[in-house]
């Protein structure tokens, strides 16, 4: 089984990043699929937490929202949003997945408005729990399609902190040392952040792509890692689990 789409590729990559025994705060959709896939492969003891308060459920199938009753199915704890955010602020959550309408070179996210805040062209839902997750979880990841409208030089609004303006600006802002953006997984590449400047850099290129093509689809200059790998495609096992057990109705992965 070698045919796969970019969503299946991104979910499989994300699942491989989640260590066994770690804790991950997820929303619904692709992040949830990645966490479920991790549990069914290399990380059976991964603890999944939902923003609405479901902690370590045994998900019978893909939930449709963070408050779906399935996010509490056989859970270790049926808590509240306050319980989840408290766990983040106390340093108990290792990973989180976030997204937004815009992302910049330091991993800052905008999920509030496009255009002027007072008279926006488009208004989005806003932070929800994203600011809390990004501020206090140890490793923040993003899964997103890549284009110049989404990867921008300057955000129209800063909803969720990444590395702020780079270097030590995040720590100086008062956010916990050791937390921050970790990996950006797109339909073209995997990026991390250069340790000193905290600027986004390419570390792995997906099959069929080139660095030049990736740069063309980004609104700011990307750095290059010393060694850039080729991304390993989804395995037959990963695709089978995604298509037959995790998302059989193809709500997330598509047809």
Tell me, yes or no, if 51 is annotated catalytic. Answer: yes
- Please report how many Cα atoms fall inside a 13 Å half-sphere around the Cα of residue 25, on the Cβ side: 32
Q: Which one of the listed residues 45, 51, 61, 230 is annotated catalytic?
A: 51
- Residues in contact with 247: Cβ distance below 8 Å, sequence separation at least 6, in sequence order: 33, 62, 253
Polymer length in residues for the chain:
255
Cα 9 → chain centroid: 14
Cα gap 85→91, rounded to integer Å: 10
The residues annotated as belonging to the active site are: 51
């Amino acid at each position: 089984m070698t045919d796969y789409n970019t969503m299946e590729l991104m979910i499989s990559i994300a699942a491989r990043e989640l260590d066994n025994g770690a804790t991950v705060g997820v929303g619904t959709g692709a992040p949830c699929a990645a966490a479920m896939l991790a549990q069914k492969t290399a990380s059976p003891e991964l603890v999944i937490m939902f923003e609405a308060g479901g902690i370590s459920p045994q998900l019978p199938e893909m939930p449709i929202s963070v408050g779906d009753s399935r996010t509490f199915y056989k859970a270790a704890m049926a808590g509240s949003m306050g319980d989840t955010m408290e766990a983040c602020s106390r340093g108990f959550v290792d990973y989180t997945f976030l997204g937004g309408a815009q992302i910049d070179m330091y991993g800052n996210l905008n999920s509030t408005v496009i255009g002027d805040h007072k008279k926006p062209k488009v208004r989005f839902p806003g932070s929800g729990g994203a600011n809390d997750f990004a501020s206090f979880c140890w490793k923040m990841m993003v899964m997103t399609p890549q284009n110049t409208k989404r990867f921008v030089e300057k955000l129209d609004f800063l909803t969720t902190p990444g590395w702020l303006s780079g270097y030590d600006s995040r720590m100086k802002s008062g956010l916990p040392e050791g937390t921050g953006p970790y990996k950006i997984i797109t339909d073209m590449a995997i990026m991390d952040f250069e340790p000193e400047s905290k600027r986004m850099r390419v570390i792995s290129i997906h099959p069929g792509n080139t660095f030049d093509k990736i740069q063309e689809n980004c609104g700011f200059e990307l750095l290059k890692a010393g060694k850039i790998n080729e991304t390993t495609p989804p395995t037959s096992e990963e695709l089978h689990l995604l298509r037959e057990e995790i998302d059989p109705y193809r709500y997330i992965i598509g047809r």
